[in-house]
Structure 1
Amino acid sequence: MSNSLATPGVYIEEKSSFGSSVVPIQTALPAFVGYTKKASRGSKSLINKPTKISSFGQFVELFGNGPDIKFSIEANETSAQGFQLSFVNASRYMLYNSIRLFYANGGADCYIVSVGVYGDEINADQLTGSKTGGGIASLEKYLEPTLLVIPDSVLLSKDDCYSTQAAMLSHCGYKMKNRFAILDVYNGDQERTFDENDVVNNFREGVGSNHLMWGAAYYPYIQSNIVKSSDLDFTSIENKEVLIEILNSEVDANLAAEIITEARAEGIKAEIAKINDATDADAIKSLQSTLKVVSPKINGILEDMQDMINLMPPSAAMAGAYTMCDNAESVAKSPANISLGAVVSPSVDINNDNQEELNLPLNGKAVNAIRSFAGKGVLVWGARTLDGNSQDFRYISVRRTMTFLEQSIKFAAEAFVFAPNNSTTWSTLRATVSNFLNNQWQSGLLAGNSPEDAYQIQIGLGSTMTSNDILDGVLKMTVKVAITRPAEFIVITFEQLQQKS
């Protein structure tokens, strides 16, 4: 101002009364990677372009509806139902129903990375972007996502699934250090065998030993009710000639048992014969309604199809649960002891004895259990990262809270790049960070009876910096925080008092 005082007059100079502040980053913003029906906004392709959405309707608008999942049916006299269904793998994709499950569990904003469209073979290189630069690799330019989920990974071969999950951990813990991976156990719908084929032990071996604190895994799969029976019809059966034979066999058995008359049997078979010719949507709907009345077996087939599609890996539901916990309370709240929405049951029943090895394995690679409790429903009953032997980052809430604090302070500190490396800048930066941490302590994010117990900030010459650091243009600040930890084990001791009166 003094250099501009050349002309007599009145000059006004405004000075800032308040320092800059730290803006808290968003803690639960998942990025989903997978295959979609389409990927376009108008004429612009969205393939391998991370796209932020805020609702399921917006997902459908940009990425289309779900896949037309096909089934193969075979007669099986050894089963109680007399048939066996299996997926036509080339028609199966997980992302669409996973997004539905995400929003059913409290999901909000998220990023979608479509690496291909239905009809493409699910490929590990496309999901990771190791060769194309798409998939996970395309997220390296985006700082917002804080969670990473790839439901389609469980449809890969076992080795490709594990390599993709290892790439997820590397992306979160090595390249970005600002996000957390939610992993599914390959073949997590199967019971544990505790031998060389055990699904959990195979997962632990396959996922590797690097960057384990940056991810958590959940077991088993969950039986959801996302897909309704009204969403399915007999056209999902690829080999319709076998379906017709099975239904006709049912009619013949009922006729032989004199449950129906011969005229009734002929009428039912005439309806069954229309299966091959029904192509119009109205004709299919009308025929299906008729078949569901006259053939109990078609109802069993549709129910099995529904159950098979609704058996899903839990990562997307957990991403919604993380979001719900963060928005309702804070990132310090463990995403555990909460019920899952749109979930009927876990695919495998786990009791206390079964969970002991999941939670406390010798190698430390904890896998969080999803369990069913009488009167409570399906609950998430674990809150550990894969680095279960670490005293620092054993718990999901601790790892994610530290990431939240680190990234929030990092972005605030960028305002001081190229500022004079002197006591004025140090005191301003200390006050900025101190105000932020004090607010976090008051909200319950940090432990301690006083701010001094909750956090410490060190900055300055002789404290965190040497004269050479200042000459090199290096400003060093040390922040120590006491993060709240979950009460995972609650021990209540009972003693008897001697009678006194």
Structure 2
Amino acid sequence: MPSALTFPGVYIEEVSSGVRTITGVATSITAFVGRALRGPLDNDPQNQSPVRIHSFADYQRIFGGLWDDSPMSFAVNQYFQNGGSDALIVRVAGANMATASITNNGLTLSAANPGSWGGLVEVTVTLDDGSGGTLPAPFFNLTVHDTDTDLREVYFGLSTSPADARYVQRVLLGSALVRATAVPAAPARPAAAAATLLTVAATADGDAVDATVISAPGLEATRQGIFALERADLFNILVIPPYAPDADVQPADLGGVLSYCARRRAILLVDPPSDVDTIDEAITHANAVGRNINAAFFFPRVSAPNPLHANQLQDFVPSGAVAGVMARTDAARGVWKSAAGTEATLTGVSALTVKLTDLQNGDLNPMGINCLRDFPVYGRVVWGSRTLAGADPLASEWKYLAVRRMALFLEESLYRGTQWVVFEPNDEPLWAQIRLNIGAFLQGLFRQGAFQGKTPKEAYFVKCDSETTTQADIDLGIVNIFVGFAPLKPAEFVVLKLQQIAGDIPT
């Protein structure tokens, strides 16, 4: 009611409808963790890791593009080739990594992050004030040029005095190429110098990485390795490519990764090691990883051209390409559609390392192993969509990957969309609002064809009332919301029954 009714007439007051729209979260943000040629490390002091990118051009600009010692770079490339559009990159480093640097009269300029790439950065120092004179101390000009990418940064009027607005250490925090790691006391400043490359050790790229820098439990406290993703709001798919071309991720390395995926409502894509090339070896590997509802195993590896070696075919893990197919399917059909079938073609893949037959596929599919197949006309396609808990003997309700991903999508969307409920009066008016808002969200999905059933009543339900939330719950500050949905399940097996008609056809 209006605060004061002072004159006869009509008063207008807007009344809240109580509708708080729940928005579905993204479903195919893919996180990659591995070695890269350049870019912010997982322990970057400015907390720049992970880095969100939207194309392989972004990856090239920030992380240096394809690199033979980085299987992650090829996985990211195949992800975007197959329809991916949103990725998070975590760069990890092995031992003995070094940073390129140069010192001029007490000023030490170091590459923005470690790696041999810093040896391609050159710096130029001038003292020209722009009108033919010389800048007064402690001011100077600096030009930084990346000779590999041709990126050039020019800074005028830098100072070695912390009291100045253009203090070199602060200004260079915004540089993509260098940092000032040591600064002389003013009025000292660097001497004028022609373009000079930073000095870098031959082993600056460091040793190959392993599980100790990616998924070891101790990394969680410092937010390194996969735990750098704690700085990311959301990711749906996790890919950990081989540590190096000849160093595969082993099942023993994935225990902590699977636990982290469950905590973040994400799916881990598991790759076959290079020595897994038979049916029995694939089943053994799947059993070793564990029959987890938040993981999916794809077999075999893929062969694709390597641009670094005159496009000769090279074997790669399939996870990057499969994640791209998932993203493409989500965008075109929705997360409830299995990313498999004749539409799930693997772009940029020339062959598969093992050409499976129908009988071999029939041995692997009931064991929860998703096959990649090579068919005439269709080419290379994803031909399976089960979780690692999808082996028939397990009879898991999370057998199908699309069902599991749909459930994770609903969980995350409802978790975020019901935050407003906290501290609201816990009674029927609140429960009615909850039913209205969640019901509207699920109704929108029903109209998109996300559930089974001909009517909303058959497709989903939302229950939040005095039966779900008793007086004892109210006294404890608890509100219980029950949400059920009828998931769509893929038609894995299509059975056609043909019969001859003997005699006359009845009319």
TM (norm. structure 1) is 0.72
1:315 match: 319
1:325 to 311, 326, 329: 329
Shift of 1:58: 1.2
Helix, strand or coil at the partner of 2:214: helix
1:297 match: none
1:49 match: 49
1:369 match: 371
Whether the 8 Å CA contact 1:154–1:161 is kept in 2: the answer is: no
2:78 match: 101
1:400 to 405, 416, 429: 405
CA distance in 2, matches of 1:447, 1:46: 47
Shift of 1:193: 6.6
Helix, strand or coil at the partner of 1:36: coil
1:357 to 357, 363, 367: 363
Shift of 1:311: 0.9
> Is 1:121 matched with 2:208?
yes
2:339 to 328, 335, 338: 335
Q: Deviations over 1:356-402 (max 9, x none)?
A: 221113xxxx1111111122211111111100134411011000011
1:202 match: 284
1:434 match: 439
> Is 1:348 matched with 2:354?
yes
Whether the 8 Å CA contact 1:34–1:151 is kept in 2: the answer is: yes
Whether the 8 Å CA contact 1:154–1:186 is kept in 2: the answer is: no
Aligned-residue Cα RMSD (Å) equals: 2.4
Shift of 1:46: 7.2
> Is 1:161 matched with 2:165?
no
Shift of 1:141: 4.3
Whether the 8 Å CA contact 1:33–1:114 is kept in 2: the answer is: yes
> Is 1:213 matched with 2:285?
no
CA distance in 2, matches of 1:48, 1:354: 46
Whether the 8 Å CA contact 1:30–1:145 is kept in 2: the answer is: yes
CA distance in 2, matches of 1:63, 1:448: 47
Tell me the number of residue pairs that the alignment of Structure 1 and Structure 2 aligns.
384
Q: Deviations over 1:429-478 (max 9, x none)?
A: 101011111111110101101000001111111x2121110111100010
CA distance in 1, matches of 2:8, 2:89: 59
1:468 match: 472
CA distance in 1, matches of 2:47, 2:288: 29
2:487 match: 483
Q: Which residue type is aligned with residue 386 of structure 1?
A: L
CA distance in 2, matches of 1:46, 1:145: 21
Whether the 8 Å CA contact 2:40–2:49 is kept in 1: the answer is: no
Q: Deviations over 1:327-375 (max 9, x none)?
A: 01100110111110000110111001111221113xxxx1111111122
1:139 to 206, 217, 229: 229
Q: Which residue type is aligned with residue 252 of structure 2?
A: S
Whether the 8 Å CA contact 1:153–1:161 is kept in 2: the answer is: no
Deviates more, 1:148-157 or 1:401-410: 148-157
Shift of 1:324: 0.2
Whether the 8 Å CA contact 1:184–1:219 is kept in 2: the answer is: yes
Shift of 1:165: 2.7
Q: Which runs of 5+ in 1 are unaligned?
A: 70-91, 233-301
Helix, strand or coil at the partner of 2:374: strand
CA distance in 1, matches of 2:381, 2:357: 12
Per residue, is there more strand in 1 or in 2?
A: 2
1:181 to 242, 263, 268: 268
Q: Which runs of 5+ in 2 are unaligned?
A: 94-114, 116-204
Whether the 8 Å CA contact 1:47–1:115 is kept in 2: the answer is: no
Q: Deviations over 1:156-192 (max 9, x none)?
A: 756x62123333221112x22x21111101226x531
Q: Which residue type is aligned with residue 89 of structure 2?
A: I
CA distance in 2, matches of 1:52, 1:423: 42
> Is 1:446 matched with 2:458?
no
CA distance in 1, matches of 2:46, 2:369: 34
Q: 1:164 to 1:18 in 2, by over 3 A?
A: same
CA distance in 2, matches of 1:47, 1:372: 43
Whether the 8 Å CA contact 2:70–2:244 is kept in 1: the answer is: no
Helix, strand or coil at the partner of 2:15: coil
Shift of 1:491: 0.8
1:384 match: 386
CA distance in 1, matches of 2:358, 2:279: 17
Deviates more, 1:443-452 or 1:179-188: 179-188
CA distance in 2, matches of 1:494, 1:46: 67
Q: Which residue type is aligned with residue 369 of structure 2?
A: V
2:241 match: 151
Whether the 8 Å CA contact 1:446–1:454 is kept in 2: the answer is: yes
CA distance in 2, matches of 1:323, 1:500: 53
Q: Which residue type is aligned with residue 79 of structure 2?
A: F
Helix, strand or coil at the partner of 1:52: strand
Helix, strand or coil at the partner of 1:320: helix
Shift of 1:204: 2.2
1:23 match: 23
CA distance in 2, matches of 1:494, 1:15: 63
Q: Deviations over 1:225-281 (max 9, x none)?
A: 2x23xx43xxxxxxxxxxxxxxxxxxxxxxxxxxxxxxxxxxxxxxxxxxxxxxxxx
TM (norm. structure 2) is 0.71
Shift of 1:120: 3.0
Helix, strand or coil at the partner of 1:343: coil
Helix, strand or coil at the partner of 2:449: coil
CA distance in 2, matches of 1:54, 1:144: 15
Q: Give percent identity, aligned residues only.
A: 28
Helix, strand or coil at the partner of 2:479: coil
Q: 1:414 to 1:9 in 2, by over 3 A?
A: farther
Whether the 8 Å CA contact 2:216–2:256 is kept in 1: the answer is: no
Shift of 1:63: 1.3
1:222 match: 302
Shift of 1:326: 0.2
